[in-house]
C-alpha cells in the first residue's frame, strides 16, 4: 500500500532516506510550478472525478473521487519487489536483477530514463489547450486523467534519477522541466513530442498511436535488469491501459458518428452535418501513425543491441520468447529502399531490435483499425480505414530521405509534393476540424461529431457530472 502521510505519496519508504526525501521535496515545487504554467490551461480550480493510486497490487489499486488538479497527489509507486527476480536476457542472463546501477551501464540507463521521462511532461504540454473544446464532460475528465498520470510518469523517472544517479540525476531532473514541447531553443527530445495536438481528433489519434509507443517502450523497460526501473514501468503500464482505452474508444466513437451521418445523408461530405469525413480521419491516422513509427529509432541500431546485451532493455514479452534470449547467432531481415526499389537484407538479430519492437507495435495498432472497420461494416459502408505503409512520411530510419505513398509505392519528390495534402492533414482539414471543436459541458451531452460511450467511468452513468462546472 501507498503512504499518503508525507508531502510525496510513495511506496518506497521515502521517509527512511532523508537526503533523497529532501531532494525530491525541493524538486516538487518546480514540478507544481511547471504544472501551473504549462499544464492544462482551464478547469484549474474545478473538481474533477479522477482516479488516484492507493495500492499497486492486482486488485483494486485505484480510488475514484473529486479532486482539483493542482491538489492531485502525484507520487512514487513501484510494483512489488520480487526478491528472486533474475535477468532474463543478454550477457547477464540468470544473474540476480540489479538493485543499484552498475557503473558500466550508468550512462545508458540514465539516457533511457531521461528519454522516457522527457515524453511524459511533453504530452501534457501538447494537450494543454484541449480543455477549452472537449466534446463532453466525460471526455474532459478522461483528458485530465491522462494528463495527471503523465505527470506522475514524470515523477516516476525523476525518482529514479534522484535516487540512483546523484548529481547528474538531479541536473537531468531539472532539465526535464526546462525542455518544452515545440520550444525553439530547448525542444523535447523525440520528434513526435514537439508536434502540436490542436484538436480532439488529434488527441484520440495521439493516445492511440503515440501512447501506444509508450506501452511498448515501457514493456521493454519492464524487462530491464535494473529492478527499480522494471518495477516502475510495470506499474506505469497499468495506468497506460486507460490511455490506450481513451484512444481506441475515442476514434471508435468518432467513426460511429461518421458512419451514421454518411448513411443518413448518403454522402461522404458530412462536414456540413457536423461530422468528420472519413477521408479526413484517414489523413489524421496517417500522420499520427507515421510520426509514432519514428519513435522506434533506426531499424538497425548498435544502441539497441548494446541495451539488450547489457540487460538494460529487453524485448516485448521477453520472458515468453522461445529463443535463447541472447541472440548472438541469430539473423533477421530488414527491408529498406535502394536504387528506387524495396530490398531485403539479412542482418544480425541483435542489431534489429528496434525493428522487432516496431513490428510488434504495428500488429497491435492493427487491432484498433480492425475494430473501427467493424463499425463501418456494420453500417453497410464499403469504406475502410487502414494503416499506411511503414515507409510513409518517415523522418527516422531506412525510409527517411525516400518518399513512399500510403499504399507502398516509392515516388519522387515532385509526386510527393503534389500529392501529400491528400495523405496528410492539410491546413483545410485542420480548420475544418477546428470549426467542429466547440465545448459541450452539459452532463450527458455530446458534440455533433462523436457518439457517446456505451458506459461511463467507474460504473458511473454516462451523464454523471465528471467535471463540476461552476
Ligand atoms: N526523434 O540508434 P538510434 C511515451 C535519435 S513514448 C528524435 O536508432 P536508439 C509516451 C536517437 O536518440 C515512449 N531523435 O536510436 C507517449 C539517437 O541519438 P544519438 C518513450 C531520435 O537509441 C505518449 C539517434 O537518433 N520512451 O512514453 O536505438 C504520452 C540514432 O538513433 C528519434 C522511449 O523512447 C526521434 N523519433 O532508439 C506520454 C524509451 N529516434 O544517441 C508518454 C527510451 C531516434 O545518436 N528510448 N533518435 O544522439 C529508447 O529506447 C531509444 O532512445 C529510442 C531510439 C527507441 C527512442
Ligand atoms: Fe506516460
Ligand atoms: Fe500514456
Ligand atoms: Fe557487464
Query: Each residue of 278-295: pLDDT tens digit?
Result: 999 999 999 999 999 999
Indicate the domain borders of the chain: 14-298+420-436
Give the Cα separation of 203 and 144 in Å (integer).
Answer: 12
Q: Which ligand 1 atom sits closest to the C-alpha of 302? A: 2
Centre of ligand 3 from the C-alpha of residue 73, in Å = 18
DSSP three-state, residue 120: helix
**pLDDT, position 459:** 96
Q: Is the CB of 281 under 6 A from ligand 1?
A: no
**pLDDT, position 347:** 98
- Best probe residue, ligand 1, of 303, 316, 351 (max atoms within 8 Å of C-beta): 303
Say whether pLDDT at 470 is over 90: no
Q: Decide: residue 144, CB within 10 A, 0-12 exposed, 13-18 middle, 19+ buried.
A: buried
> Cβ atoms within 10 A of the Cβ of 410, count?
16
Backbone angles phi, psi at 108, to 5 degrees: -65, -45
Q: Is the CB of 216 under 6 A from ligand 1?
A: no
User: What is the per-residue DSSP string for 52-106?
Assistant: EE---SSS--EEEEEEEGGG----B--PPP-TT-B--SGGGTTSBPBSS--GGGH
Q: Which ligand 1 atom sits closest to the C-alpha of 300? A: 8
- DSSP label at 332? E
Q: At which residue does the C-alpha cell 516496431 appear?
A: 358
pTM for the predicted model, two decimal places: 0.97
pLDDT tens, 417-459?
Answer: 999 999 999 999 999 999 999 999 999 999 999 999 999 999 9
Q: Is the CB of 211 under 6 A from ligand 1?
A: yes
Mean pLDDT (the chain, rounded): 97
Q: Is the CB of 303 under 6 A from ligand 1?
A: yes
Nearest CA to ligand 1 atom 2: 301
Alpha helices in 179-270 (DSSP H): 200-205, 211-221, 227-265
Grid coordinates representing 342? 524495396
Residues 6+ apart with CB under 8 A from 53: 2, 61, 62, 63, 75, 77, 152, 235, 239
Q: Which ligand 1 atom sits closest to the C-alpha of 116? A: 26
Contact 346, 301 (CB under 8 A): no
Grid coordinates representing 446? 455530446
Contact 203, 68 (CB under 8 A): no
Nearest CA to ligand 1 atom 14: 190
**pLDDT, position 58:** 78
- Best probe residue, ligand 1, of 190, 197, 347, 359 (max atoms within 8 Å of C-beta): 190
Contact 291, 210 (CB under 8 A): yes
Contact 396, 298 (CB under 8 A): yes
pLDDT tens, 164-204?
Answer: 999 999 999 999 999 999 999 999 999 999 999 999 999 99
Say whether pLDDT at 60 is over 90: no
Say whether pLDDT at 57 is over 90: no
Residues 6+ apart with CB under 8 A from 187: 179, 180, 181, 194
Residues 6+ apart with CB under 8 A from 446: 135, 136, 138, 440, 452
> Cβ atoms within 10 A of the Cβ of 84, count?
7
Give the Cα separation of 180 and 125 in Å (integer).
Answer: 7
Q: Is the CB of 304 under 6 A from ligand 1?
A: yes
> Cβ atoms within 10 A of the Cβ of 31, count?
20
Q: Is the CB of 210 under 6 A from ligand 1?
A: yes
Nearest CA to ligand 1 atom 44: 297
Q: Is the CB of 294 under 6 A from ligand 1?
A: yes
pLDDT band at 90 (very low <50, low <70, confident <90, very high): very high
pLDDT tens, 2-16?
Answer: 999 999 999 999 999
Grid coordinates representing 218? 515501457
Centre of ligand 2 from the C-alpha of residue 462, in Å = 26
Q: Is the CB of 396 under 6 A from ligand 1?
A: yes
pLDDT band at 59 (very low <50, low <70, confident <90, very high): confident
Find the helix or strand (DSSP H, E) in which 347 lies.
strand 341-348
Q: Which ligand 1 atom sits closest to the C-alpha of 190? A: 1
Q: Is the CB of 300 under 6 A from ligand 1?
A: no
Centre of ligand 1 from the C-alpha of residue 380, in Å = 42
Of the CATH numbers 1.10.620.20, 1.10.599.10, 3.40.50.20, 3.30.460.10, which one belongs to the domain with range 14-298+420-436? 1.10.620.20
Say whether pLDDT at 153 is over 90: yes
Find residue 96's DSSP bridge partners.
86
pLDDT tens, 297-348?
Answer: 999 999 999 999 999 999 999 999 999 999 999 999 999 999 999 999 999 9
Say whether pLDDT at 390 is over 90: yes
Residues 6+ apart with CB under 8 A from 82: none
Contact 54, 61 (CB under 8 A): yes
**pLDDT, position 393:** 98
How confident is the model over 127-148, as a mean pLDDT?
Answer: 98
Q: Which ligand has the minimum distance to the alpha carbon of residue 114?
A: 1
**pLDDT, position 190:** 96
- The dihedral built from the CA positions of residue 141, 142, 143 and 147, taken in this order, carries a sign that is positive
Q: Is the CB of 301 under 6 A from ligand 1?
A: yes
Q: Which ligand has the minimum distance to the alpha carbon of residue 151?
A: 2
Q: At which residue does the C-alpha cell 522527457 appear?
A: 118
DSSP three-state, residue 444: coil
Q: Is the CB of 232 under 6 A from ligand 1?
A: no
Query: How many H-runs (helices) and E-runs (strands) does the chain carry?
Result: 12, 6
* CA-to-CA separations, 236 to 86, 95, 229, in angstroms, rounded: 21, 25, 10
Centre of ligand 2 from the C-alpha of residue 63, in Å = 19
pLDDT band at 1 (very low <50, low <70, confident <90, very high): confident
User: Which residue pairs, CB below 8 angstroms and at least 24 apart, start in 387-391?
Assistant: 387/285, 387/289, 387/362, 388/285, 388/286, 388/289, 388/290, 388/423, 390/293, 390/358, 390/362, 391/337
Most distant pair of Cα atoms in the chain: their distance: 68
How confident is the model over 34-47, as a mean pLDDT?
Answer: 97
Backbone angles phi, psi at 266, to 5 degrees: 55, 45
> Cβ atoms within 10 A of the Cβ of 379, count?
15
Q: Which ligand has the minimum distance to the alpha carbon of residue 246?
A: 3
Amino acid at each position: 500500500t501507498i503512504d499518503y502521510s508525507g508531502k510525496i505519496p510513495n511506496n518506497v519508504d521515502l521517509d527512511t532516506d532523508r537526503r533523497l526525501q529532501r531532494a525530491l521535496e525541493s524538486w516538487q515545487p518546480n514540478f507544481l510550478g511547471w504544472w501551473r504554467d504549462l499544464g492544462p490551461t482551464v478547469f484549474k480550480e474545478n473538481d474533477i472525478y479522477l482516479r488516484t493510486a492507493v495500492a499497486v497490487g492486482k486488485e483494486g489499486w485505484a480510488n475514484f473521487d473529486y479532486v482539483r488538479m493542482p491538489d492531485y497527489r502525484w507520487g512514487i509507486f513501484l510494483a512489488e519487489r520480487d526478491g528472486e527476480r533474475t535477468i532474463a536476457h543478454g550477457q547477464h542472463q540468470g544473474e540476480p536483477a540489479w538493485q543499484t546501477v552498475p557503473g558500466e551501464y550508468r550512462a545508458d540507463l540514465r539516457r533511457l530514463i531521461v528519454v522516457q521521462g522527457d515524453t511524459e511532461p511533453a504530452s501534457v504540454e501538447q494537450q494543454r489547450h484541449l480543455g477549452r473544446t472537449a466534446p463532453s464532460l466525460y471526455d474532459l475528465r478522461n483528458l485530465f486523467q491522462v494528463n495527471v498520470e503523465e505527470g506522475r510518469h514524470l515523477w516516476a523517472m525523476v525518482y529514479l534519477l534522484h535516487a540512483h544517479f546523484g548529481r547528474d540525476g538531479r541536473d537531468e531532473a531539472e532539465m526535464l522541466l526546462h525542455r518544452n514541447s515545440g520550444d525553439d531553443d530547448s525542444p523535447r527530445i523525440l520528434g513526435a513530442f514537439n508536434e502540436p495536438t490542436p484538436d480532439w481528433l488529434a488527441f484520440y489519434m495521439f493516445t492511440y498511436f503515440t501512447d501506444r509507443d509508450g506501452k511498448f517502450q515501457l514493456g521493454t523497460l519492464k524487462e530491464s535488469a535494473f529492478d527499480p526501473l522494471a518495477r516502475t514501468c510495470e506499474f506505469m503500464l497499468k495506468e497506460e491501459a486507460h490511455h490506450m482505452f481513451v484512444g481506441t474508444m475515442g476514434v471508435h466513437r468518432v467513426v460511429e458518428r461518421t458512419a451514421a451521418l454518411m448513411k443518413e445523408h448518403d454522402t461522404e461530405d458530412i462536414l456540413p452535418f457536423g461530422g468528420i469525413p472519413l477521408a479526413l480521419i484517414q489523413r489524421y491516422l496517417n500522420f499520427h501513425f507515421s510520426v509514432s513509427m519514428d519513435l522506434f529509432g533506426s531499424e538497425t541500431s548498435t544502441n539497441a543491441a548494446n541495451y539488450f546485451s547489457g540487460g538494460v532493455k529487453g524485448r516485448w514479452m521477453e520472458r515468453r520468447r522461445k529463443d535463447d534470449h541472447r541472440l548472438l547467432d541469430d539473423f533477421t531481415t530488414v527491408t529498406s529502399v535502394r536504387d528506387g526499389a524495396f530490398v531485403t537484407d539479412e542482418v544480425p538479430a541483435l542489431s534489429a531490435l528496434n525493428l522487432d519492437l516496431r513490428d510488434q507495435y504495428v500488429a497491435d495498432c492493427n487491432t484498433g483499425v480492425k475494430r473501427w472497420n467493424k463499425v463501418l461494416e456494420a453500417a453497410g459502408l464499403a469504406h475502410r480505414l487502414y494503416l499506411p505503409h511503414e515507409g510513409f512520411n518517415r523522418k527516422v530510419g531506412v525510409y527517411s530521405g525516400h518518399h513512399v505513398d500510403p499504399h507502398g509505392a516509392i515516388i519522387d519528390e515532385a509526386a510527393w509534393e503534389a500529392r501529400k495534402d491528400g495523405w496528410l492533414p492539410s491546413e483545410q482539414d485542420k480548420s475544418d476540424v477546428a470549426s467542429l471543436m466547440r465545448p459541450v459541458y452539459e452532463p450527458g451531452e455530446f458534440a455533433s461529431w462523436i457518439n457517446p460511450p456505451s458506459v461511463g467511468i467507474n460504473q458511473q452513468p454516462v451523464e454523471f457530472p465528471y467535471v463540476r462546472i461552476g
